[in-house]
Amino acid sequence: MRFDSPPIEGRFLRRYKRFFADIELPDGTVVTAHCPNTGSLLGCKEPGSPAWLRDSGDPKRKLRMSWQAIRVGDTWVNVDTNLPNRVVFEAIQAGVVPELRGYDEARREVRYGNRSRIDVLLTAGDRPPCYVEVKNTTLAEGGTALFPDAVTSRGLKHLGELREVVRRGERAVQFFFVSRTDVDTFRPADSIDPAYTAALREAASAGVEVLAWAARVAPEGVELDSPLVVDLT
């Protein structure tokens, strides 16, 4: 997915009240931007780190700017949870993900389950539909991406709905979109949310497929970079 314009560079100061982030611009001006991420962003909030802002161009918005990304070490990490679904959808349509090729139609945000919407629904005349749930992942330790970075009751609900998809004979995929490239493995974060990680392993045992891909974050845009080893042991 390509951006319409390059990001605005700055320096991260703090994130507070969940949806607010203060970013200092090169001229010393401090901008309060919208933080489009409900997670804890553990490991992605070091004061003084280089950061990117994106201008909505809408003067009527209460917070015109959005916090786009932060640099952790030598790697840019996307913090905007609005992007992964779009990036994965475009990648599937382009045939980038081998496991998700061969479908005639791809649709986004389709209603299913208990008042939920599946991120991507793939259909074809010669096979059962495939339900793809996308989760954004920013946390990493020592080359391993971890999810979740906070307790997620919503994620737990989604796993239950994916299991129901498999139970009725259709295909379900939990896709972890890792918003950084300094990793080669994905693992569930047991110390953060043991209920979710246990449910993930149970879902995988029941037939829910688990995929994880690293994503490259650049001034021009965000795109899937490479598949990761999924370690559910």
Tokens, residue 40? 């804890």
Nearest to 222 by CA among 106, 95, 89: 89
Q: What is the pLDDT of residues 47-84, one digit of tens each?
A: 999 999 999 888 888 999 999 999 999 999 999 999 99
For 59, residues 6+ apart whose C-beta sits below 8 A from its C-beta are none
Q: Which residues contact 140 (CB under 8 A, 6 or more apart)?
A: 43, 72, 146, 178, 180, 182, 183
Give residue 5's pLDDT. Answer: 87
**pLDDT over threshold 90, residue 188:** yes
Locus of tokens 């497929």: 209
The pLDDT assigned to 30 comes to 97
Report all structural domains of the chain as residue ranges with CATH numbers, in order of start: 8-78 (2.40.50.580), 84-230 (3.40.1350.60)
Give the global pTM: 0.95
Composition of the chain by helix, strand, coil, percent to 5: 15, 45, 40
CB atoms < 10 A from the CB of 10, how many?
24
Does pLDDT of 113 surpass 80?
no
